[in-house]
Chain A
Amino acid sequence: MSSGVDVNLENIWIKFGDFVAVREANVNINGGDFFSFLGPSGCGKTTILRAVSGFLNPSEGRVLIGGKDMAGLGPNKRPTALIFQNLALFPLMKVWENITFSMEVSGASAGERRKRADELLDMIALPGQGDKLPSELSGGQKQRVAIARALCAQPDVLLLDEPLSALDLKLRQHMRTELREIQQRVGITFIYITHDQGEALTMSDSVAVMRAGIIDQIGDGHAVYDTPATPFVASFVGENNVFRGKISAINGDEATIATNRSGELLSKITPAAVGKLNVGDDAMMFVRPEVLKMQEGDAKTTISAKVLNEEFEGNSYSIYLEGEGGKQIKMAMPNLGNDPHKAKGDMVSFSYDASNAVVMPAGDLASE
C-alpha cells in the first residue's frame, strides 16, 4: 500500500463568475492523516475537494500533493480517488467490475482483475458477492464497494464527499469505525467532507471548520470543540450557550464580560483571540451545556434562572432555563441515577468553571 503523502493547499481562491466559493484557503495535511472539512452545506467544502481531485481548477493558488504541483492535471492524472456522496457506482457493471474499473482502464487482464477484486471483497467483508449488480446490494454494502473501488486505484490520497450521509443512524455509526479502521490499515491520507460534527470529531486527526468559503479554524477535535476560534465554530460544533456583551476587564488570558442580560461573567479568552481583545470591545462568551453545574459558585461564574422545561434523553437530562430578560440557557446533566428533577418555574442558581468558558470578539453565529 502506498504510504501517506502530504497535501498542501496554498492560498486557494475559487471563483464562479462573481461568486467566491473559496477564499484564501491555506491547509497543510500531513501524510497518513484523517483530515476532515466540516461545515454547513454550501460553505465551499465540496468545492475544495473538487479542486484537490482535479474536477476544477482553483482561480488562484496551488494544490500540492506529495510536494508536486497538480496544476493542469485532470482527475485521471492525479494520485487521488474520490468517493462520491451518492457513491456513483456504475449501475450496469457487476460489483467486481466496479471495484477493478481503475485496472480495466489501465489495461489489466480480466484474470488479474478478478483476483484483485476477490482480495478487496474479502477486505470489505463481502466475499463472493462480486457477480452481483450494485442495485442488488444494501446501502452499507454499496458503501463498502465504493471504498474498495477507490482503494483499488491505489491512490495516495482518498477523498470522501459525505459518503455516509445516505445511511441510517446505526449504520452510519458502524461505518465511522470501519472507515477509521480501514484508514489506519492502509495508512494513506484521507480527506473527508462532512456537515456532521460527530463524524468529523470521532474520525479525524484534524478538522478544518468552514463557513461561507472561509476556513475559520484548523485543529484536532479537542481544539475545535474546547477552544473554538470564532463564534461560528463555537456555535456550529456542538451545542453552546452564547452570552453577548462588552469586555469590562482583561487579566492575562481571562476576561470579564459585561453581558447584556446576565450581569458580569468571567471567562477564559480563547487561544486564537489572546491579545486581540480590548476593554470595551463587543464580545461573545460561550459556555457548553454540559459544563454548567447545578450549584452556586463565584459571583462572576454564577447565573440565576427559572426552569422552563426538562427533557429526559436516557443517558442525560436537558434542562431549559430562562434567565434575566428572557435569556435562554440550556444545561445538560448526565443521568447518574439521582434525578435532579426541578419543577417548572423553580428558580435555580448554577455555575461553571471559568476555564471551561471561552470568550472571543463578537461575530456571526452558525444559523441552525
Chain B
Amino acid sequence: MKSNILFGRIALGVYFIIFFGYLIGPLVVMGFTAFNSAAFPSITPWQCFTYEWFSELFQDERILNGIKNSFIIGFGTVILSVSIGLAASLVLTQVWAKWRSTYYTIIIAPILIPGVVLGISTLVFWRQVSDMLGGVPLLNNGIFLTIIGQSTFIASYCMLVFVARLQRFDAGLTEAALDLGATHTQAFRKILLPFMRPAIASAAVLAFLASFENYNTTTFTFGSYPTLTIELSQMVRYGINPSISALAVIIVTITVFGALTLEVLRRRSKVKAGDIKPSKGLPSWLFGNVATILLVALSFGLIAMVTTAQSYSPQQCKANYKEARQLENQIKIDALQAARAAAIAAAAANGETTEESGTDEPATQGGATGAFGGVFAPTNLEGAAGQNSGEDNGAAAPASPFGGVFDPTNLEGAAGQNSGETAPAAPASPFGGVFDPTNLEGASGTGGN
C-alpha cells in the first residue's frame, strides 16, 4: 500500500516534470540563446555571453514599426471586441429560451472557425463592400481589416468572460435602480458597469493579448501595416538570429512581472479584506510571499542586468573565441590542404587531373559541400569564409561545428550575415531558397507586400 502511494507520487512528479518541461523548457532555452553570441540561436556550443542581440533588436526599424502597429491594432480590437462581447452577453441573458441555443451557436462559432478562414472572409467581404461603394480606401486599410477580423473571434472570448460574471449579477439591482428613478442608461452606467468592471478589465487584457499574438487572421488582413507577429514570422522563416530570442526574453520578463505583481496585489487586497482561508498543503500565504520574493528578485536581476549591460563587453571573449576558432580552422584547413595535396598527388600518380574545386581557396561553399561531403569540414569552411571577410566582430561565425550542411536555413543565415544584412527577412541565400518551398513561397509573399 505504502509503496503504491510512493510510486504514485513519483509518477505524478515525473509527469509534472514532463508537462512543465514541455511547456516552459522551450522558452527557457530560447531565453538563453538571447545571451549567446552565436549568430544562430543556440546554446550548444556556448560562445560568449553578450547583450548585443538586445541592441540589435532595438535598432531594427521593422520590429519597432511592427510593435507600433500591434499596439494600434490591439487598442482598436480591445475597444471593439469588449463592447461587442459585453453587448452580446447582455443580450444572451434576455434572448427567449427558444432562440437561445441558436444565438449561442452563432456567437460562439467564431472561436471554432479557423483563424485563416476568418482572415480570408474578412478580406474578401470588405473588398467587395468597398468595390460596391466604388472604392473606399478605409475598407481596404490593413489596420481596419485586422481590427475587424480579429474582433470577430476575440469578441467571443470576451463574451464568455462576461457571461461568467453576469451569472453572479442580481438583476434585481438594475430594477432597484430603475425603480429609484434612474434611466436605463444610468442604471447601466452606475450599477451594471461597476459590477462588470473586473470582468471588463480581464476581457480587455485577454483581448489585447489575443490581438497582439494573433497570426493566422492577421496574415491575410494586415495589408501595409505588418504587426509585430507578422514581422516575427518573416524573421523566423527567412533569417533566424537571436534578436528574436531577445524579444522573447523581454516579453517573458514583462509577462512574469505582470503576473507576479497581479498576484502580490491580489494577495494584499485579500489580506486587507481578511478573507484568506487556511488551506491544506502549502498555505496560501506562502505563495503570496513566494510571489513577493520572486518579484523582488526579478527586479534586482533586471537592475543588475541593465547596469552590467552598460559596462560589460563581450569583445575580449569574442576575440578569444575567434582566435581559438581560427586556430582550429587553420589546423583543419592545413589538414585538408594536406589531404588534398595528397589526393592530387595520388591522382597525378594515376595520370588524371582534378580540377573540380579551387585548389587552395576553400571559401566557396557549394564547391566545398560537393567535394567534401564530410560532416565537419564544410561548416567550418563556411565559418572561415565569414571571418575572412572581416564581418562584424565575428558574429557570423556559425553556431555549431555540427551545423547541418543540408539545412537550407543555415546556409541562408550564414549567407545573410555575410552580405552584412540587418533585416533578415529577405531570403538572401541563393542556396537557402532553392531547396525549400516554404522559402520560395515566402519570397513571393514578401515581394507582394
Contact = CB atoms under 8 A, between A and B. Distances in A.
Interface of A: 53-55, 74-76, 80-82, 84, 86, 88, 90-92, 101-102, 104-106, 149-150, 153
Most buried by A among B181, B183, B194: B181
5 contacts: A86-B170, A88-B173, A101-B182, A101-B190, A102-B180
B180 A153 contact: yes
Given A80-B179, A90-B177, A105-B182, 8 more contacts: A75-B179, A76-B179, A82-B179, A88-B172, A102-B182, A106-B181, A153-B180, A153-B181
Contact of B179 (A53, A86, A104, A106): A53
Contact of A55 (B175, B177, B180): B175
Given A90-B191, A92-B194, A92-B195, A105 B181 contact: yes
Contacts of B176: 82, 84, 88, 90
Given A88-B170, A105-B190, A76 B181 contact: yes
A103 B354 CA distance: 101
Given A92-B195, A104-B190, A105-B177, A86 B172 contact: yes
Nearest to A55: B175
Main secondary structure on chain B at its contact with chain A? helix
A90 B179 CA distance: 13
Nearest to A146: B176
Contacts of A76: 178-184
Given A92-B194, A92-B195, A104-B190, A81 B170 contact: no
Given A86-B170, A105-B182, A106-B181, A75 B175 contact: yes
Contacts of B183: 76, 105
Nearest to B191: A90
A106 B181 CA distance: 8
Interface residue range, chain B: 10 to 19
B322 to A, nearest CB: 65
A161 to B, nearest CB: 10
B389 interface: no
A81 B194 CA distance: 23
Interface of B: 170, 172-173, 175-184, 186, 190-191, 194-195
B178 to A, nearest CB: 5
Contacts of B180: 76, 81, 101-102, 105, 149-150, 153
Contacts of A55: 175, 178-179
A101 B195 contact: no
Nearest to B174: A88
Contacts of A82: 175-176, 179
A101 B177 contact: yes
Contacts of A80: 179
Contacts of A91: 173, 195
Contacts of B195: 91-92
A193 to B, nearest CB: 14
B178 A75 contact: yes
Contacts of B182: 76, 101-102, 105
A149 B176 CA distance: 10
Nearest to A100: B180
A106 B190 CA distance: 13
Most buried by A among B175, B180, B186, B195: B180
A34 B178 CA distance: 24
A105 B179 contact: no
Contacts of A75: 175, 178-179
Most buried by A among B175, B184, B194: B175
B96 to A, nearest CB: 11
A230 B1 CA distance: 71
A46 to B, nearest CB: 12
A53 B179 CA distance: 7
B178 A84 contact: no
Nearest to A79: B181
Nearest to A50: B175
A76 B181 CA distance: 4
A68 B194 CA distance: 36
A85 to B, nearest CB: 8
Contact of A74 (B173, B178, B186, B190): B178
B170 A102 contact: no
Most buried by B among A88, A92, A106: A88
A92 B193 CA distance: 11
